Amino acid sequence: MTQKFTSLIEFLDQFKDDEDCREYLKQLRWKGVPECPHCKSTKIYEYQSRPVYKCVECKRQFRVTTGTIFESSNLPIRKWFLAMYLLSSNKKGISSLQLARELKITQKSAWYLAHKIREMLNNKAVLKKLRGVVEVDETYVGGKRRGSKRGRGAEHKTPVFGMLERNGTLRIMPVGKVNGKTLKGLICGNVVRGSTIMSDEFRAYNGLNKFYIHKVVQHGIKEYVNGDAHVNSLEGAWSLLKRSIRGIYHRPSRKYLDNYCGEFEFKYNTRKKCIEVRFTELLKCSKIRVKNIDITGYFPDT
């Protein structure tokens, strides 16, 4: 189920108020038939005076936002929807300052709002394993000092590891150490055994041929393609990631880099889909509660 819109004006016409947003979420979440989030019963009645439901079975009250990222938020749900639209439709991302201006909220609120959405996107608990031909590579992002080392072992930067199905799904994440134990552990945990792994000659990948078909390109001797072996697709994704970080987010800290990677991963994997489908897929990820303490590790001053 998707609404038809191809621009911000059409999006705002579709979602004129909070009631439009709640109705859309109701259809998306329950297909129009409310279900108790506490006991899963469909014996529900709705209060006429407010958007609240009560379960006949367990007697508990709930809203369409219960158990979602919108639960207990002081922001109107329409502003949440608009924030999700802006984050998913801006190719390089959107800064908290720009988001605050668009939503007419404080920069602090916009920062928390954007990071809650990124945290939601970064929930990788139920992702399917990659298969087929999978490119693997690492890059380094973050702070840069003039004259500092580039590439592997770069100081003041955070290593990010990536796996990309050829013509398929991208999966990236920051890593603490760039060694065989870490990288091969991530590959084995995310790629179906028997698949074909494409990598460069980095020694951390030695031994992958025990579980995979392993093809290598020798970057050290300027070899970037060897038959069908290359990691050019993944290096193209790295270029897009770095452009986004340099142009919008400006040296994000290691603490939040995982969430920025989650946002980029979602955009890359939905890049060929139209904006209304991308927005709906983002909204489907909202079935998870994210609190301020999940973002900062402490309760902020209010």
At residue 186, φ and ψ (nearest 5 deg) are -70, -40
252 close to 142: Cβ distance less than 8 angstroms: yes
Q: Using pLDDT thresholds of 50, 70 and 90, give the confidence band for residue 221.
A: confident
Using a pLDDT cut of 90, give the percent of the chain over it.
70
In the predicted structure, residue 302 carries a pLDDT above the cut 50: no
Q: Which pLDDT belongs to residue 300?
A: 43
In the predicted structure, residue 43 carries a pLDDT above the cut 60: yes
In the predicted structure, residue 129 carries a pLDDT above the cut 50: yes
Q: Which pLDDT belongs to residue 126?
A: 59
pLDDT in tens, 267-290: 999 999 999 999 999 999 998 887
Q: Which pLDDT belongs to residue 226?
A: 83
Q: Which CATH superfamily is domain 133-252 in?
A: Ribonuclease H-like superfamily/Ribonuclease H (3.30.420.10)
- CA gap 148, 83 in Å, rounded: 37
Query: Three-class SS string for 199-246?
Result: EECCHHHCCHHHCCEEEEECHHHCCCCECCECCHHHHHHHHHHHHHHH
- CA gap 202, 132 in Å, rounded: 21
Q: Which of 138-147, 217-226, 270-279, 289-298 has the highest mean pLDDT?
A: 270-279
In the predicted structure, residue 1 carries a pLDDT above the cut 60: no
Q: Which pLDDT belongs to residue 248?
A: 77
Q: Using pLDDT thresholds of 50, 70 and 90, give the confidence band for residue 256.
A: confident
Q: Which pLDDT belongs to residue 298?
A: 41
Q: Which pLDDT belongs to residue 105?
A: 97
How many Å is the Cα radius of gyration of the chain?
A: 22
Residue spans of beta strands (DSSP E) within the chain? 44-46, 53-55, 61-62, 133-141, 158-165, 170-174, 196-200, 213-217
In the predicted structure, residue 104 carries a pLDDT above the cut 80: yes
Q: Where in the chain are the domains?
A: 133-252
Cα atoms in the 13 Å half-sphere on the side-chain side of 278:
24
In terms of Cα–Cα distance, which of 136, 133, 130, 132 is closest to 202? 136
Q: Which pLDDT belongs to residue 157?
A: 84
pLDDT in tens, 172-202: 999 999 999 999 999 999 999 999 999 999 9
In terms of Cα–Cα distance, which of 118, 99, 122, 124 is closest to 109? 99
- Mean pLDDT in the chain? 88
Q: Using pLDDT thresholds of 50, 70 and 90, give the confidence band for residue 132.
A: very high
Q: Using pLDDT thresholds of 50, 70 and 90, give the confidence band for residue 215.
A: very high
In the predicted structure, residue 150 carries a pLDDT above the cut 70: no
In the predicted structure, residue 152 carries a pLDDT above the cut 60: no
Q: Using pLDDT thresholds of 50, 70 and 90, give the confidence band for residue 92.
A: confident
